[in-house]
Structure 1
Amino acid sequence: MNIIQCEELSKSFGRRHALQRITCALDAEKIIGIIGRNGAGKSTLLNIFAGYLKPTNGSCRVFNENPFNNIHTASNMIFIDDQLSFSNYLSLEDILKMGANFYPNWQNELAYRMLDYAGIDLTLKHQQLSKGQSATFNLVYGLVSRCALTILDEPMNGMDEVIRTDFYRAILKEYLAFPRTFLISSHHLQEMETILEEILLIDEGTVIAHAPLDEFKEQLVLLNGPSEALAELLSEMEVYTQKTVTGTTSAIVNARKLFVSEEILRTKGITVSSLTASEVCKYLTSKKGRDIDAIFD
């Protein structure tokens, strides 16, 4: 069942086109990574899903309704980002009590246990927290709400590596305990890809890939072997990056256009290696002809 459906969705801010004709469908009860480089349009898309922004053109439906200023959508969704703040008149404990009054599936005891584990004093005000503590509190708030749609926009910003690792596990454990839809935007894809089921990759305001994690990683492969043996093969393929050192060439290519079997390639001394999801994202969104090494040549 689709929880989100977009058709030809576009969003502009003056002359800047943040999103351009996005069409996608996201299934319920999955952990989905919304991935892209800075400025790709991830946050804009998530804010439209949350009902905070209205599309310029096209349509977006969440729970089969227009989410913009929609009470039904708002009551079944929570949006957590690094801009989230609370009243400076309330302690963290007061904030948790208010959350319990608003969200029907609220897990107050779990919130207390998680924040105690993170060493966060509930007598403090939200504004008194460090950046990492604020991110941790906000993420806990989003998890214990147990909303049908939980949107996490860069939820780990400011957290140190140890606490990030712990809370990726917390997201997965919460998903298994109470299945719902998680949309997670993050720059730490390599850290979190083990919990993702699906990736939606955005580049310059458009969706350039949307697939289950395993299929996503299979889009590109690394070829390595004698330059002479690879030369003819690469001339007929889409090459994302290529390097040659002392007669040996390494190249990242589109796996779907590799029509030669691995067995035949091995007879020519060519090996085929898989990539991580993070590496696939990097090469799919890299601009051809741009290489940081070239700046220093």
Structure 2
Amino acid sequence: MTLGIDVRNLTVRFGDVVAVDDVSFTLSGGKIYGLLGRNGSGKTTLLSLLAAFAPVRQGKVLVGGAEPFENSAVTEKVCLIRERSIAPDGTTVKDILNDARVFRPAWDEKYADRLLDMFQLPRKKTVSRLSRGQQSALGITVGLASRASVTIFDESYLGLDAPTRYDFYDELLRDYMEQPRTIIMSSHLIEEVGRLFEEVLILDRGRLVSHEETDTLLTAGAAVTGPAHLVDEVTQGLTVLSQQQLGGTKSTAVYGKISEDAQARARSAGLEIGSLGLQDLFVHLTREREEPT
């Protein structure tokens, strides 16, 4: 079962600080969504409200058409895994799994066992004695094996080493194809996880600056390479993200749509036009800008 998410005019303030600023979006569900933003952009605050960790004070959050806060019919279908888990002293891996079995109606015991073996997690070891990577692997195990209709990973895999992170990405995609559900991933490792996302939401200083299908977002930028004067001609009027030049050859990364006519003329003149990566576009959309005076 998949659940859609509807957020309308959501604003969250902590004293004088606006953490989430009038954010609205709709997720149809049944996809893998990427939530990107710099530190302090409001990602964790937003995800906490989706998981009903706090009440909504201004605006509206609906999961499956219902408000999640203090609504057990919704919260049992939403699983938020954060980077670091907090467990009472003496809590073992087995204790964490037992709790998940009790509170997650769709819990898959056999799948949890397979993930424990895959990550080589000792069942009897206390959580406090696990390495950072093992704690991340434990959170991932709970998140995937919960089979929650809405599964959220908030930077929860950063503790893993690179090979294990890639094992996780492959396992998440494989399991998602077999057990479709709504998955939201926040991450700074954009180049690594971008291939998983079907839609991307980008927050900047609490505001939603982009919500697009990944393929659509990637067409918003281009890298143009060739003779410098021709590159300048084709990219004129577009936002330049970066430039490199070696002798008479220049490569310019731009944000903006190059017309089909301009692309045809550029290619006929021997220019190369390539796509930009998601990380390059993210950096542009969240770049620090001077406030107007």
Q: Is the 8 A contact 2:3 2:149 kept in 1?
A: no
Superposition map of 1:15-54 within 5 A: 15-54=16-55
Number of the residue aligned with 2:264: 263
Work out whether 1:3 is the aligned partner of 2:4: yes
* Cα deviation 1:220-276 (Å, max 9, x = unaligned): 111122222233443422222334443333222234254643220123343211122
Q: How many angstroms does 1:283 deviate by?
A: 2.6
Q: Is the 8 A contact 1:2 1:25 kept in 2?
A: no
Matches of 1:90 and 1:230, distance apart in 2: 61
Matches of 2:172 and 2:213, distance apart in 1: 18
Number of the residue aligned with 1:144: 145
In structure 2, the gaps of 5 or more residues are none
> Which stretch shifts more, 13-22 or 65-74?
65-74
Work out whether 1:175 is the aligned partner of 2:176: yes
Work out whether 1:196 is the aligned partner of 2:197: yes
* Cα deviation 1:187-216 (Å, max 9, x = unaligned): 112112222211111112111211222112
Matches of 1:109 and 1:142, distance apart in 2: 14
Number of the residue aligned with 2:214: 213
Q: Is the 8 A contact 2:225 2:273 kept in 1?
A: yes
Superposition map of 1:10-159 within 5 A: 10-159=11-160
> Which stretch shifts more, 193-202 or 86-95?
86-95
Q: How many angstroms does 1:153 deviate by?
A: 0.2
**Normalised by the size of structure 1, how large is the TM-score?**
0.90
Q: Is the 8 A contact 2:84 2:156 kept in 1?
A: no
Structure 2 residue matching 1:159: 3-state secondary structure: coil
Structure 1 residue matching 2:257: 3-state secondary structure: helix
Change (3 A) 1:18 1:272: same
Structure 1 residue matching 2:40: 3-state secondary structure: coil
Structure 1 residue matching 2:4: 3-state secondary structure: strand
> Which stretch shifts more, 137-146 or 97-106?
97-106
In structure 1, the gaps of 5 or more residues are 290-297
Letter in 2 for 1:249: K
Matches of 1:258 and 1:95, distance apart in 2: 55
**Normalised by the size of structure 2, how large is the TM-score?**
0.91
Matches of 1:56 and 1:102, distance apart in 2: 27
